[in-house]
C-alpha cells in the first residue's frame, strides 16, 4: 500500500476541523492537537497571543486550532531521509570497524564531523555531526575519562563530586527512552555529586528528554532580556521594591540600594544575576552549550577548551555560565593546568564540538499534544485539561509562552575559530519533513512547555540531602527545583528529579511546598477528575515519528 493511502486508513480525530491552512501546521506540530478540544467556539487562527506583556490564560492558549498529526505529515520524505541516514550510518560502522583510528580521529578533528553525507547546507552538516557525536561510543576517544589515581578511563558509576564519573560512553546511553534523544530509565539515573563509592552519598538525577531545548533556550534569553531591561530602565528609586514580571509570570522583587547595587534577597525563583536558566533539574544552565559542556565533562570525562582556559588561566566565566559551570571548572582534576584529568589529551573538546552539539540539540523538535482517539477518553482528556487549571497545576506549569524572535546564534567561543551558526526555529527546527517546507512567515512563535521557568520550594519530602551537588555556595537550596516542563511527559517515566515516581499519580502526590495547595486540591478532587487529569497529562508526548533500528 502506498503512503498516500495510509493517511485515510487511520482513525480521524473526531474534533479535527475539516479545513486547515498549511501555516497552522507549525503551531500544530508544536502544540499538537492541543486544544481543539477546549471550546471550539473560542477557536482562533494559528497563533493566539502577541506581545510579551499580556497574560495568556491556559484555556485560550490551548484553544489554538489544530489538525491531527497524520493529516499534516507527508511521511515519504521523512522515510527517505531515514533510509539515507541509516545507510550512511551502516557504511560508517563498516569504516569504523575497518579503520578505527582514522574514524575516531576524524570525528574529533578540529573542525567537527560531517562525514555521513556531504551536504552544502551548513546547518544540516552540524545537525548530522551533532547526531554522530550524540551516538558515538566516546570511550574510543583518547580524551575519554581521566587517569587520576587509576588507569584511564577510570569509570565511576557514582560521581566523585562535581568532577563526575565518567559513568557512560555515549549521550544516547541515557537519552533513548521513547526514541532517540529521549529520556532515561530508572537504571540510567546519574548518581551525581557523590563520593565515588556509595550510592547513598550521591544525588540521583533522572535523565530528561531533550526535545524542545532549542525553544527553551531562546525563550530563556528573551525572558532574561526583559528582566534585565526592567532593572536597567532609568529613574529607579533606591529603597523601593520593584516587581519583576514577564508575560504574566511573577519573578519576585528587587530593590536598588543607595550605593547603586541591587538587593536581590527577595529573589528565589531565579539566580541573583537575573538570568533564567531552563536546563538541569534545578535550573543550572541557560544554554544548551553550557549544558552539553557539563554533560561531556561529568559523564564522559571530556573537558572542553573553554573550561580548561577558564581553569588554568583563571579566566572569567563566560557570560552565560552559572555556579554549576564554575563547580565543574574547579573540579576538572588534580593534574597539571593544561591537563587536569591526566589523560592522554590536553584539550578533549574544542569550541566547534560544543557548537555542533549545541546546534544539534537546538534543532530537535518540540514535543506535541496528542489526545486519545476514543470518544470516552477524549471526553476525559477535555475534562483533564480543565482540571489542570482548576486544581492549580497551571500556576507553575504555565502552559504557553510567546517567543518574539525565534532565532539563535551559536558562537564558537574558540580563539582558533570564528565560526558562528545562525538558526531560525521557524525554519530550521527538525520536526520531520513537513516543517521544513512550510512558509515560516509567522509573526510570533508560541510554545507549550508547561513550565514557568522558575524555581520553587517543593517541600522537605522531595528535597535532596544536599544542595546542587558540588556547587559552591550559595547553593540552590535542597528543596528547590525548576518547574519541570511537562511537554513530552508521556515518554519520560519515571518521573521527578530522581525518578522516584513510577506513575503520574505518585508524581503528583509527591508535590509539596509551594505546590501543596494544588496537591491537596488534587487529593480532594473526585476520582473521575483525578483520572481525567492523568489522561490529559499523558497526551503530552514526543513527536510520533517511527525510527529505523538498529
Partner 1 sequence: MNPTRLRRAVLCGLLGTGVWACGRPMPRVQPIVVTGDLSARGVTAVDVATQAQQAISDRLAQRERMFQDLHEPGSLWQSLRVEQADIDAGLVSLPTLIDIGRDLFRLDVGRAQGGGNGLSVAGATKGTQGLRHVQRGDFGGPDGTRCAGCHHIGGLGGGGFRVDNSFLDGDGERPQTGLERNPRSLFGAAVIDRLAVEMSQDLQEQVLRANRELKEGEDRVLSTKGVPFGSLRRVKGGRLDLSGVRGVSLDFIVRPFGWKGTTASLRQMIVSSLQQNLGIQADEILQRLSDSKALGDGPKDDPDRDGVQHEATEGMVTALVSYLASLSLPTQEPLLDSVFALRGAEGEAIFAEIGCADCHRPTLTLRDPVMSLGPTARSQPRVDLSPLFGAARNPARDKGIEVPLYSDLRRHNLGDVLAEPRSYLGIPKTHFMTPPLWGLAASGPYLHDGRAGDIEQAILAHGGEAAAARAAYEKLSLEQGGKLRLFLISLGRPTHLEFKP
CB 548 to partner 1: min, Å: 6
Question: Toward partner 1, which CB reaches closer, 30 or 203?
Answer: 203
Determine if 547 is a binding residue for partner 1 (CB under 8 A).
yes
Determine if 373 is a binding residue for partner 1 (CB under 8 A).
yes
Of residues 5-24, which lie at the interface with partner 1 (CB under 8 A)?
Answer: 6, 9-11
Question: Toward partner 1, which CB reaches closer, 198 or 405?
Answer: 198
Taking CB under 8 A as the rule, which mask of x and - marks residues 172-191 in contact with partner 1? xxx-xxxxx-x--xxxxx-x
Determine if 500 is a binding residue for partner 1 (CB under 8 A).
yes
SS3 at position 288: helix
Question: Toward partner 1, which CB reaches closer, 4 or 228?
Answer: 4
Contact with partner 1 (CB under 8 A): which of 248, 372, 392, 477? Answer: 372
SS3 at position 299: helix
Question: Toward partner 1, which CB reaches closer, 292 or 537?
Answer: 537
Of residues 297-326, which lie at the interface with partner 1 (CB under 8 A)?
Answer: none
Contact with partner 1 (CB under 8 A): which of 106, 111, 139, 309? Answer: 139
* Per rule CB under 8 A, count of chain residues that contact partner 1: 88
Q: Are 462 and 516 in contact (CB under 8 A)?
A: no
Which sign does the torsion angle of CA 27, 32, 36, 39 carry? negative
CB 36 to partner 1: min, Å: 17
Determine if 149 is a binding residue for partner 1 (CB under 8 A).
no
Determine if 147 is a binding residue for partner 1 (CB under 8 A).
no
Determine if 209 is a binding residue for partner 1 (CB under 8 A).
no
CB 313 to partner 1: min, Å: 33
Of residues 501-530, which lie at the interface with partner 1 (CB under 8 A)?
Answer: 501-506
CB 341 to partner 1: min, Å: 18
Contact with partner 1 (CB under 8 A): which of 25, 37, 96, 269? Answer: 96
Determine if 223 is a binding residue for partner 1 (CB under 8 A).
no
Of residues 46-85, which lie at the interface with partner 1 (CB under 8 A)?
Answer: 70, 75-76, 79, 82-83
Determine if 488 is a binding residue for partner 1 (CB under 8 A).
no
Contact with partner 1 (CB under 8 A): which of 12, 91, 240, 437? Answer: 91
Cβ count within 10 A of residue 314: 9
Determine if 193 is a binding residue for partner 1 (CB under 8 A).
no
What's the full length of the chain, in residues? 550
CA nearest to 62, candidates 81, 89, 43, 90: 43
Those residues with Cβ within 8 angstroms of residue 369's Cβ, 6 or more apart along the chain or in another chain: 31, 32, 33, 34, 35, 448, 539, 540, 541
Question: Toward partner 1, which CB reaches closer, 141 or 408?
Answer: 141
Contact with partner 1 (CB under 8 A): which of 204, 348, 410, 413? Answer: 204
Q: Give me the torsion for CA of 83, 436, 539, 480, rounded to 10°.
A: 110
Spatial strand order of the sheet with 262-263 comes to 241-246, 249-256, 262-263
Q: Considering only the C-alpha atoms of the chain, give the largest distance between any 2 of them, rounded to a whole number of Å.
A: 75
Contact with partner 1 (CB under 8 A): which of 423, 493, 508, 515? Answer: 493
Contact with partner 1 (CB under 8 A): which of 374, 422, 472, 517? Answer: 374
Which residues on neighbouring strands pair with residue 369, listed in sequence order? 540
The C-alpha cell that represents 130 in the structure block: 551533532
CB 489 to partner 1: min, Å: 12
**Exposed/middle/buried for residue 249 (C-beta within 10 Å: 0-12, 13-18, 19+):** middle
Question: Toward partner 1, which CB reaches closer, 393 or 423?
Answer: 393
User: Three-state secondary structure along 369-430?
Assistant: ECCCCCHHHHHHHHHHHHHHHHCCHHHCCCCCEEECCCEEEEECCECCECCEEEEEHHHHCC
In this chain, which stretch among 235-243, 323-331, 427-435, 490-498 interacts with partner 1, using CB under 8 A? 490-498
Determine if 344 is a binding residue for partner 1 (CB under 8 A).
no
Distance CA 347, CA 389 (A): 50
Of residues 404-423, which lie at the interface with partner 1 (CB under 8 A)?
Answer: none
CA nearest to 112, candidates 145, 141, 152: 141
Which residues on neighbouring strands pair with residue 456, listed in sequence order? 481
**Exposed/middle/buried for residue 63 (C-beta within 10 Å: 0-12, 13-18, 19+):** buried
Amino acid at each position: 500500500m502506498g503512503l498516500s493511502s495510509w493517511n485515510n486508513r487511520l482513525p480521524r480525530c473526531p474534533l479535527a476541523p475539516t479545513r486547515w491552512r498549511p501555516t497552522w501546521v507549525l503551531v500544530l506540530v508544536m502544540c499538537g492537537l492541543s486544544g481543539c478540544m477546549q471550546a471550539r467556539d473560542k477557536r482562533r487562527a494559528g497563533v493566539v497571543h502577541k506581545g510579551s506583556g499580556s497574560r495568556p490564560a491556559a484555556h485560550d492558549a490551548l484553544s489554538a486550532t489544530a489538525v491531527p498529526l497524520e493529516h499534516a505529515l507527508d511521511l515519504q520524505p521523512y522515510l527517505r531521509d531515514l533510509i539515507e541516514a541509516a545507510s550512511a550510518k551502516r557504511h560508517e560502522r563498516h569504516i569504523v570497524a575497518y579503520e578505527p583510528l582514522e574514524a575516531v580521529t576524524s570525528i574529533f578533528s578540529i573542525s567537527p564531523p560531517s562525514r555521513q553525507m556531504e551536504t552544502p547546507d551548513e546547518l544540516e552538516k552540524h545537525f548530522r555531526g551533532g547526531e554522530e557525536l550524540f551516538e558515538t561510543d566516546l570511550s574510543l576517544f583518547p580524551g575519554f575519562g581521566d587517569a587520576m589515581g587509576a588507569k584511564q578511563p577510570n569509570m565511576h558509576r557514582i560521581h566523585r563530586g562535581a568532577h563526575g564519573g565518567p559513568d557512560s560512553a555515549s549521550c544516547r546511553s541515557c537519552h533513548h527512552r521513547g526514541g532517540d534523544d529521549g529520556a532515561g530509565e530508572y537504571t540510567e539515573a546519574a548518581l551525581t555529586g557523590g563520593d565515588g563509592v556509595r550510592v547513598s552519598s550521591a544525588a540521583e538525577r533522572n535523565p530528561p528528554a531533550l526535545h524542545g531545548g532549542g525553544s527553551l533556550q531562546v525563550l530563556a534569553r528573551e525572558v532574561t532580556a526583559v528582566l534585565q531591561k526592567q532593572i536597567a530602565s532609568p529613574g529607579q528609586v533606591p529603597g523601593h521594591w520593584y516587581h519583576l514580571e514577564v508575560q504574566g509570570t511573577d519573578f519576585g522583587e528587587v530593590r536598588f540600594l543607595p550605593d547603586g547595587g541591587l538587593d536581590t534577597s527577595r529573589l528565589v525563583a531565579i539566580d541573583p544575576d537575573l538570568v533564567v536558566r531552563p536546563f538541569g533539574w534545578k535550573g543550572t544552565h541557560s544554554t544548551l552549550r553550557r549544558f552539553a559542556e557539563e554533560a561531556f565533562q561529568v559523564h564522559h570525562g571530556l573537558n572542553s577548551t573553554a573550561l580548561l582556559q577558564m581553569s588554568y588561566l583563571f579566566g572569567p566565566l563566560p557570560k552565560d555560565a552559572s555556579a554549576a559551570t564554575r563547580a565543574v571548572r574547579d573540579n576538572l582534576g588534580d593534574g597539571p593546568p593544561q591537563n587536569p584529568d591526566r589523560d592522554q589529551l590536553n584539550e578533549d573538546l574544542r569550541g566547534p564540538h560544543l557548537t555542533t552539539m549545541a546546534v544539534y540539540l537546538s534543532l530537535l523538535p518540540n514535543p506535541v499534544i496528542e489526545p486519545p482517539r476514543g470518544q470516552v477518553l477524549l471526553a476525559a482528556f477535555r475534562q483533564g485539561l480543565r482540571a489542570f487549571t482548576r486544581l492549580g497545576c497551571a500556576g507553575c506549569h504555565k502552559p504557553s509562552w510567546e517567543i518574539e524572535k525565534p532565532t539563535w546564534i551559536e558562537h564558537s567561543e574558540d580563539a582558533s575559530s570564528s565560526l558562528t551558526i545562525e538558526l531560525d526555529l521557524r525554519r530550521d527546527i527538525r520536526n520531520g519533513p513537513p516543517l521544513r517546507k512550510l512558509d515560516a512567515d509567522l509573526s510570533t512563535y508560541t510554545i507549550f512547555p508547561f513550565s514557568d521557568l522558575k524555581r520553587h520550594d517543593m517541600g522537605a519530602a522531595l528535597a535532596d540531602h544536599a544542595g546542587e551537588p558540588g556547587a559552591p555556595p550559595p547553593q540552590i537550596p535542597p528543596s528547590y527545583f525548576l518547574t519541570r516542563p511537562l511537554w513530552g511527559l508521556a515518554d519520560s517515566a519515571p518521573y521527578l528529579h530522581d525518578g522516584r515516581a513510577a506513575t503520574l499519580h505518585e508524581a503528583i502526590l509527591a508535590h509539596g511546598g509551594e505546590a501543596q495547595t494544588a496537591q491537596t486540591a488534587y487529593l480532594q478532587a473526585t476520582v473521575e477528575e483525578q483520572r481525567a487529569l492523568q489522561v490529559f497529562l499523558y497526551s503530552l508526548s514526543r513527536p510520533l515519528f517511527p525510527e529505523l533500528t538498529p
